[in-house]
Structure 1
Amino acid sequence: MIRKSQPAEPHGVAGAVLGWLMLALNRGDNERALQLLDVHPDDHILEVGCGPGQLIELLEDRVHQGYVAGIDLSEVMVQQAQRLNARHIATRLVEVSQGTVSQLPFEAEMFDKIVSVHSFQFWPAPHHDLQEVKRVLRPGGVLVLVLRRLRRSNKAAAEVNGIAKAYPNNDLHALKAALYAAGFAQVDIVGDKDVIAIRP
């Protein structure tokens, strides 16, 4: 089996180390996503590309009567997220599983809110995958995508290494068009030159 790059699908010892680094590097962006989600105690929330589970941990402190799910392509990330959130998984408030955004293992209209932090650029088929996300989102629900935009000097190297697709990070018009095409009625873009959040 051909492995994807470490950022796309962390694996092995290097993948485990990357997961630990994510806990430090992504803390601020996870907190930003948390603010944009406007979490209520009875929300049903899904994180796509949950990594080591830090945002799930932040969410579970605010969701007391609802449900938090995380899904990640990487077995290593799922294991780390399950360890970090073991107490709430035991109470069935939280579920973390391995899977792909292209075929989410959830019923239609199951979630009030869906979030993805720095994983959208690795989605294998963004147009289809956004429609799949829309399928499991309740009418009037919220999707928050947090993206790290590439500086021009790093763009070529990132594309060569397969770290990012061009349009999610550098062409916001195309990204907005994809969100509208997937059925989202409103798209707001919030952020600075390095990190942006999209909230339909």
Structure 2
Amino acid sequence: MNSRHSGVTDWGLSQVPIEKNFTILDIGCGGGRTVSKLAAIVTEGKVYGLDYSTASVAFAAKTNRDWIKKGRVDIREGSVSQLPFASATFDLVVAVETHFWWQDLPGDLRELLRTLKPGGSLAIIAEVYKGANTTTARLVEKYLPKTGMKLLTPCEHRDLLVEAGYTNVQVTLETGKGWILAIGKKSFEI
């Protein structure tokens, strides 16, 4: 996971405003490489990684052991459906290659919104979306019934974020590669 998703992660993160004092959550942190990349950016902030897999949590903790020792990274086991964080904790939540596996996508997006600070952002980054004209997308779509993935079109990404309560929703595509970035913000109005 760490090397496979590095290119799409770098592409997506390059388009997300990140300040050095941000508190960030990487939801579905997998092997922890995105956590490490984010920790290098937020030199005065903190990055949390969360994954439901015990094995992924252990691997992400090993990948980020130096950041953890410095108190700049915290890796936890948990579910996107019941986040172990207080409301208004994060400036940014990042989900790389994970949202299509969530059991309750609308509810899980609302749960992430709860943990964002007013003005905070959610960035969903993926290397495949429904309708992409790439070999990967065609293979994923062919085997969807066997995988349990929920593959969305760009419009469905936008609509889902809006319906979950996000504002200023933007969807960016790298059509030649079939990549997608969907960003939504938490309103300042409470």
TM-score, normalization: structure 2? 0.86
Name the residue aligned to 2:94: 115
**Structure 1 residues 174 and 34, CA gap change in structure 2 (3 angstroms):** closer
Tell me the equivalent position of 2:155: 173
Q: What displacement does 1:153 show? A: 5.0
Higher helix share: 1
> Gaps (5+ residues) in structure 1?
1-21
Shift of 1:160: 2.0
Contact 1:110–1:136 (CA under 8 A) maintained in structure 2 = yes
Report the AA paired with residue 20 of structure 2: P
Deviations 1:115-142 (A, max 9, x none): 0010000111000000000000111111
1:50 aligns with 2:29: yes
Q: Does residue 13 of structure 2 align to residue 34 of structure 1? A: yes
The aligned counterpart of 2:182 is 198
Runs of 4+ in 1 over 4 A off after TM superposition: none
CA contact (8 A) 1:159 1:165 kept: no
Task: Indicate if the aligned counterparts of 2:129 and 2:154 stay in contact, CA closer than 8 A.
Answer: no
Matched, 1:149 2:129: yes
Matches within 5 A, 1:77-116: 77-116=56-95
**Pairing 1:189–2:171 present:** yes
Percent of counterpart pairs with the same letter?
Answer: 29
Alpha-carbon shift at residue 177 of structure 1 (Å): 1.8
What is the rounded CA distance, in whole Å, between the counterparts of 2:90 and 2:139 in structure 1? Answer: 38
Number of the residue aligned with 1:10: none
Rounded to whole Å, the distance in 1 between the matches of 2:5 and 2:79 is 21
- Other structure's SS at 1:186 match: strand
SS of the residue corresponding to residue 187 of structure 1 reads strand
1:130-187, CA deviations, whole angstroms, 9 ceiling, x for partnerless residues? Answer: 000000011111111012225345413132232x114x3xx33233222111111121
**Aligned partners of 2:154 and 2:180 also within 8 Å:** no
Distance 2:156 2:37 in 1: 31
Per-residue CA distance 1:20-40 (angstroms, 9 max, x = gap): xx1221111121232123221
Q: What is the number of residues matched between the two proteins?
A: 175
**TM-score of the superposition, structure 1-length normalised?**
0.82
1:11-26 equivalences in 2 (<5 Å): 22-26=1-5
Equivalent residue of 1:47, what SS? Answer: strand
* Matched-pair contact (CA < 8 Å) for 1:116–1:145: yes
